[in-house]
A and B are shown apart, each in its own frame.
Chain A
Amino acid sequence: MASGAQGAKGTLYRGREGMWSWVAQRVTGVLLFFFLFAHVLDTALVRVSPHTYNQVIGTYKNPVVNLLEVGLVGAVMFHAFNGLRIIAIDFWSKGPKYQRQLLWVVVGLWAVLMLGFLEPMMQHTFHEWFGW
């Protein structure tokens, strides 16, 4: 296929917002699937004993896992908002026309919420690291 149609801007959609949002939706989706699998297993420990459950959950309460949790929330929120964008593209008559603008709405909403949630999610870590 010739890539000359749109020159440096890429082909029909390859390498542009449409492709990268598709890649990000896949990558976050696969990560979330594996997380979900692990999360059902760790929660199942409540059927073993309170001690076992608290012990395992206790290993999550450190700054490194806390950062991973922030990443998890980031992945979930991107997958959720971009998923709604996909639904808009599929069902809203003007969706395909505004798909690119919708992606920037997704990214903007994501950034605002991540910034807002950062302090409440990382309170303990901030306290440990900086004494805040």
Chain B
Amino acid sequence: MSTHVSLEPPRTGNPGRSQRYRSRKGPGKVTRGNFELYSWLFMRASGVLLVFLVLGHLFIMMVTDGGVEKIGFAFVAGRWASPWWQFWDLMQLWLAMIHGTNGMRTVINDYADKDRTRAILKGLLYTAAVLTVALGTLVIFTFDPSIKG
């Protein structure tokens, strides 16, 4: 049995091929340079770092010392008293958010067929990502262990 399948090039592009696509399409068309190559490379590089950062985070938070039962304001204050864990969480936040946002970009490109739908979804995605990274960064840097309430 054979099924007819029409194949389109992926909208996220192909790492390292962007130049070729561009030259095929001719001047004035999509000129994204090597963006998809760097995106592909970033997913791998940040992925390796995140394996250590996130698995370490989960191990400390959810496995050791009674699991999540220990977590509360005092626990957070204790950890962020150390620049090491502040830096750890900052790296985790930025790398995971960029890695996740880039992954979501690929998913949107793959499944949202209409140009307008893709534009709206990606607009929402990037807005949410920027706000989340900004909020998280602000919280790490302005954390006040003696806040009232």
Question: Are B67 and A76 closer than 8 Å at their CB atoms?
Answer: no
Given contacts A40-B136, A90-B44, A123-B67, contact A50 B147 (CB under 8 A): yes
* Residue contact A69 to B76, C-beta cutoff 8 Å: no
B148 within 8 Å of A by Cβ?
A: yes
Contact present for B135 and A54 (CB under 8 Å):
no
Q: What's the nearest-Cβ distance from chain A to residue B109, in Å?
A: 12
Q: Report the bound CA distance from A90 to B40 in whole Å.
A: 11
Q: How far is the CA of A26 from the CA of B71 in the complex (A)?
A: 30
Total number of A residues with any Cβ neighbor in B under 8 Å? 44
Given contacts A30-B104, A33-B103, contact A121 B135 (CB under 8 A): no
CB under 8 Å from chain B, chain A span 28-86: 29-30, 32-33, 36-37, 40-41, 43-44, 46-54, 57, 60-61, 66, 69, 73, 76-77, 80, 83-84, 86
Chain A residues close to B by CB (< 8 Å): 1-3, 26, 29-30, 32-33, 36-37, 40-41, 43-44, 46-54, 57, 60-61, 66, 69, 73, 76-77, 80, 83-84, 86-87, 90-91, 117, 120-124
